[in-house]
Amino acid sequence: MLTRYQKGRDSEEVAARYLEKQGLKILDRNFRCPLGEIDLIARDGGTIVFVEVKSRYGKGYGLPQESVTRAKQKRLTLLAQWYLKSQKGDTRRARFDVLGIVWDDQDPQVTWIANAFEASQ
């Protein structure tokens, strides 16, 4: 039986591979700062992409991407601002994507929502 930590790592690995196949370049994984953590940071052309990965084992509790609440969006906005400031003036465009993964019989079903929400305060 996998632990919650292992499930999360497996899901983030699936997400990173999926995004790379879509042409994005993964810049960072599990970026941590005093405000929290961003699962994946990628580049899509000239745009920095902050990716929240959510996963579920089965569909009994709804879709994983539905669990990105307004409060989570605000936290991700603050984390993204922290990251961009740490990059010493990187002024590229940025967006927030959500990648939902449902594990069904060990075969992940991926839903990618590009530009899932606007930065919020």
Q: For 65-98, what is each residue's pLDDT tens digit?
A: 888 889 999 999 999 999 998 887 666 789 999 9
Q: For 43-56, what is each residue's pLDDT tens digit?
A: 999 999 999 999 88
Residue numbers of the domain that contains 51 = 4-117
Residue 52 β-bridge partners: 98
Decide: 31 and 78 in contact? Cβ < 8 Å: no
Q: Please tell me the total count of domains within the chain.
A: 1
Q: What pTM does this model have?
A: 0.90
**Cα distance between residue 33 and residue 55, in whole Å:** 23
CATH number reported for the structural domain that contains residue 61 in this entry: 3.40.1350.10
